[in-house]
Structure 1
């Protein structure tokens, strides 16, 4: 599939997948989607919270759910499901909270001052203040996109989980309804005959 890791052996790729996998969360954020999240099927509490937030969102929401496939990809997400390994691998994203993970939060996400990218570091008293505080409601998707790039598709040794972005923006059908109502209010009624007999005409030549 488009998300299969490089070298994945399948019936359609018996010598290993050649394409680098794309990241659905990055793809959605790059398109400036207003709600983007990731969760895993085995964490019922987190899954429920994320899906509830997605359902409450006005407009389209994308939720990537890591789910085991016992036929084609059995055990692919075990590192994220096992309580001990998940503690070190899952980067929990909670709005308004510092992005820390690992045993006792000993690892954190900071912005590299030289490149502007996000880095994972061991948290010390010297750099603790620099740990990024997650803002799911930020107008720009830039930081959310950078967080999505922290995911390691090949080894899953670290994967951000939670709501990356949740912002309010008028949805298309509401805007269209308002636009149609404005047109009706301006003329009192729709004027299809006027449009058909307007100045914008074409001559079709056989």
Structure 2
């Protein structure tokens, strides 16, 4: 791995088509900075994305990438990591992709504890399909398809992760560039499944969970006496409904990744006999 990689090396030549001001810009920049700071480079990085605005991220980042189907990004990422444990695998998605149709995969990815990271851009709405309520939308959040609100409590993804046996749970805010990159970096460095829920505001369809709201509501755990190694403390913070926290909520320092437990090592990927010379160079150029 290169030691002089800059985060800009992870930028592709494709221009993002996100709405101006979308929180996903900041989320992606933090992901790229975290990958560079941990000594990774595009040649050893694989980005898997789901469906939704966040699903475009693999196109906008320069690395190996796969744009999967709705809710299925995590099993694809696990398959990539099992086939080649030497790759740095980062899965990205949105709250709709990960906590609705992908919720079952989320639970099992958490409990398997594969050494990879999962960054979820949580804007509390379906943005790509024009503003329907998502699993994390507020109970009274009015949209064109739910004019009286969803009338059901929002999913708490951090609680779901903790109950499923997570070894790393964090929350970030895309607008706080330095802290966001630091938090994602910690997820990448964690030995196991590093889960980061990112507040990534939708400026087009969500006029409630805005940048101003999160700036006023967020409490940085680094400015409190929170101990991320204390699971009970983590549970209390995760279940507290009156505050939005930023930082590492829980980390098991004794975490043993699935690959280590099962003795998975070495790449399964081999160039078939008779493959034309330069085949892998063509693959890299394609991605």
Q: TM-score, normalised by structure 2?
A: 0.42
Q: Which residue matches 1:147?
A: 237
- CA-CA distance at 1:13 after TM superposition: 1.5
State the distance in 2 between where 1:10 and 1:159 align.
23
Alignment correspondent of 1:163: 248
What is the TM-score when the length of structure 1 is the normalising length? 0.57
Q: Which runs of 4+ in 1 moved over 3 A?
A: none
Gaps of 5+ in 2: 1-133, 266-287
Counterparts in 2 of 1:121-200, with a 5 A limit? Answer: 133-138=225-230, 141-152=231-242, 158-167=243-252, 168-177=254-263
Q: CA deviation at 1:65?
A: 0.5
CA contact (8 A) 1:150 1:160 kept: no
1:54 paired residue number: 187
Residues 33, 145 of structure 1: CA spacing in aligned structure 2 closer, same or farther, 3 A cutoff? same
Kept in 2: contact 1:39–1:65 (CA 8 A): yes
Equivalent position of 1:26 in the other structure: 159
Give, in angstroms, the shift of residue 137 of structure 1: 2.1
- Quote the Cα distance in structure 2 between the aligned partners of 1:50 and 1:143: 19
Q: Which residue of 2 aligns with 1:116?
A: none
Report the number of matched residues: 130
Contact 1:51 1:63 in 2 (8 A): yes
Query: Where does structure 1 lack aligned partners over 5 or more consecutive residues?
Result: 100-132, 153-157, 181-206
C-alpha change, 1:135 and 1:60, in structure 2 (3 Å) is same
Q: Deviations over 1:26-52 (max 9, x none)?
A: 211122201100111100011011011
- Report the structure number with the largest CA radius of gyration: 1
Q: Which residue of 1 aligns with 2:221?
A: 93
In 1: Cα distance, 2:218 partner to 2:251 partner: 20
How large is the RMSD of aligned CA atoms in angstroms? 2.0
Relative to its length, the structure with more helix (as a share) is 2
